């Protein structure tokens, strides 16, 4: 009887479950969106109980679609939106506040205060991260400071913190297992990426009790089993990684210097730096890629906060299209774009600028500008953001990245992929399966139970669907990038007091 791997992919806007066979083929899948909450400008929240209910329902649905039961699943892997912060009651399992999402900017002022007080280099040296509201640390502090009695309860050991994978594992094991994998821990701004443990100096600085934090573990290993009520019997939980690190693993970027870009809600570009952390002088982050077989691999990361979310904005708020794929046709219809630039800084600008107060802007509009040109400018902006990240990586490494593997929903857009190749002068490789995030979680889970003998088995599964090669001449490329950088500079200037 064939056996399968279940991968739970808990994203920023939806929960998915994909069931894979050994060759990485999708046997069954289900996906459902869950509500987004925006209490104030720049604030973004989720209801963690809605995430839990949605994730379990799609897992059950995926099993039912293929008439599977728990005996057919050899292991379960999880991948998740990172940095999103949940604090819950250790006894009741109820969150004490909505989950604060990675996009949320409510703690920007506190992050800026920490910078002014001179803590940036210490935190960067220990965690690989810059000080920013993006990460979990300041979000935990906000909850403890603003929910009545939260800090006192946390100090008494009554509250637990977790990013989303930690929350799901705790719930699936009936509250028996409170862990976080190294890749997610590395995104909290509390984790020392050298000692692989929570850092007491940073915890003291943010006044966060250590007793509420989960145990850090490798990304592949036996964490526990699901309670029988969920799937009719226990399923081993053996893999966990933050979405971007899971995508790096799913794209088989196992060698030093291999890079991928995920075009999801945001855009995330990661490069494998091997067994040593490379610290950036160009505004990038140093992070843990994964922990596997007693070894840690590190990565350089650049994050653009808005990618697919910009296309959703065109579709849902601007009503320019009814379906996201229509953006490709509209962009091609726009011709050259005629000097229109869109800066999609809906929740600030991420790497390498790190300007949390910047907001979206469109420049170069004339009387003749139509919705097709704005759609094209929006798609182009996603490629420009990634080119900024690629250039920063090249500066840190001393060499340019000539091949970039891509995944995520927006990489289906051929116009965007060709423009990315052109504006970055980089070969873009798209595989037949662009679901690298959930696939990475499945591979990590499968390695832990011997479903795969080694990463060589995984490499054999990858099949290239299309390669986009640069076709733009250097003069045009330079002119377009000059215009983009002027637009970013103007958007940042508009945000200054």
Can you say which residues are annotated as belonging to the binding site for glycerol? 82-83, 134, 243-244
Rounded Cα–Cα distance for residues 165 and 186 (Å): 13
Q: Are 408 and 417 in contact (CB under 8 A)?
A: no
- Give the number of C-alpha atoms closer than 13 A to the C-alpha of residue 442, restricted to the C-beta side: 30
Rounded Cα–Cα distance for residues 271 and 260 (Å): 7
Residue positions in the annotated binding site? 12-14, 16, 82-83, 134, 243-244, 265, 308, 312, 409, 413
8-state DSSP, 214: P
Interior CA angle at 407 toward 406 and 412, to 5°? 95
- Give the number of C-alpha atoms closer than 13 A to the C-alpha of residue 136, restricted to the C-beta side: 27
Residue positions in the annotated binding site for sn-glycerol 3-phosphate? 12, 82-83, 134, 243
How buried is residue 263: exposed, middle or buried, by Cβ count under 10 Å (0-12/13-18/19+)?
buried
Burial code of 128-155, b = ≥16 C-beta within 10 A, e = fewer?
bbbbbbbbbbbbbbbbbeeeeebbebbe
Residue 451: alpha-carbon gap to chain centroid: 26
Q: What crossing angle do the helices spanning 326-333 and 308-316 adopt, rounded to 10°?
A: 90
Residue positions in the annotated binding site for ATP? 12-14, 265, 308, 312, 409
Tokens matching residue 348: 């600030």
- Residue 426's region, left for phi above 0, alpha for psi from -120 to 50, else beta, is beta
DSSP E strands in 21-118: the ranges are 26-33, 45-46, 73-80, 86-89, 99-100
Residue 487: alpha-carbon gap to chain centroid: 26
- Cβ–Cβ contacts within 10 Å for residue 244, how many? 30
How buried is residue 338: exposed, middle or buried, by Cβ count under 10 Å (0-12/13-18/19+)?
middle
Rounded Cα–Cα distance for residues 421 and 413 (Å): 13
DSSP E strands in 83-196: the ranges are 86-89, 99-100, 159-162, 179-181, 191-192
- Cβ–Cβ contacts within 10 Å for residue 189, how many? 28
Residue positions in the annotated binding site for ADP? 12, 16, 265, 308, 409, 413
């Amino acid at each position: 009887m064939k056996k399968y791997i279940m991968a739970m992919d808990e994203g920023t806007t939806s929960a998915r479950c994909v069931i894979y066979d050994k060759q990485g083929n999708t046997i069954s899948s289900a996906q459902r969106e869950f509500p987004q909450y925006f209490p104030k400008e720049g604030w973004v929240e989720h209801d963690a109980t809605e995430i839990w209910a949605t994730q379990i329902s799609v897992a059950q649905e995926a099993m039912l679609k293929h008439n599977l039961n728990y005996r057919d699943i050899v292991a379960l892997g999880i991948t998740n939106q990172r940095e999103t912060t949940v604090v819950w009651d250790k006894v009741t399992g109820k969150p004490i506040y909505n989950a604060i999402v990675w996009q949320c900017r409510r703690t920007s002022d506190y992050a800026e205060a920490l910078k002014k007080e001179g803590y940036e280099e210490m935190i960067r040296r220990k965690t690989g991260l810059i000080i920013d509201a993006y990460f979990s640390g300041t979000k935990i502090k906000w909850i403890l400071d603003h929910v009545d009695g939260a800090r006192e309860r946390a100090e008494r050991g009554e509250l637990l913190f977790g990013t989303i994978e930690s929350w799901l594992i705790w719930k699936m094991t009936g509250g028996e297992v409170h862990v976080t994998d190294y890749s997610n821990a590395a995104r909290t701004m509390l984790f020392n990426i050298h000692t692989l443990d929570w850092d007491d100096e940073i915890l003291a600085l943010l006044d966060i009790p250590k007793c509420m934090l989960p145990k850090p573990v490798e990304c592949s290993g036996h964490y526990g089993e699901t309670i029988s009520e969920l799937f009719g019997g226990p399923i081993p939980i053996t893999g966990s990684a933050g979405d971007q690190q899971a995508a790096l693993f799913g794209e088989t970027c196992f060698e030093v210097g291999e890079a991928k870009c995920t075009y999801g809600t945001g855009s995330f570009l990661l490069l494998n730096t091997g067994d040593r952390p490379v610290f950036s002088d160009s505004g990038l982050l140093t992070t843990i890629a994964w922990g596997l077989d007693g070894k840690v691999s590190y990565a350089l990361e650049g994050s653009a906060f808005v990618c697919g979310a910009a296309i959703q904005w065109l579709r849902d708020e601007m009503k320019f299209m009814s379906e996201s794929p229509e953006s490709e046709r509209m962009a091609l219809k726009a011709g050259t774009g005629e000097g229109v630039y869109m800066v999609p800084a809906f929740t600030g600008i991420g790497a390498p600028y790190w300007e949390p107060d910047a907001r979206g802007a469109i420049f170069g509009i004339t009387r003749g500008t139509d919705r097709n040109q704005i759609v094209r400018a929006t798609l182009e902006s996603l490629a420009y953001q990634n080119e900024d990240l690629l250039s920063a990586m090249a500066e840190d490494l001393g060499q340019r990245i000539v091949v970039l593997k891509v995944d995520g929903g927006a990489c289906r857009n051929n116009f965007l992929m060709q423009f990315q190749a052109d504006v970055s002068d980089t070969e873009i490789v798209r595989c037949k399966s662009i679901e690298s995030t959930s696939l990475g979680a499945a591979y990590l889970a499968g390695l832990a139970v011997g479903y795969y003998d080694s990463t060589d088995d995984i490499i054999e599964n990858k099949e290239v669907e299309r390669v986009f090669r640069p076709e733009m001449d250097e003069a045009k490329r330079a002119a377009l990038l000059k215009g983009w950088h002027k637009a970013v500079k103007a958007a940042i200037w508009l945000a200054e007091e």
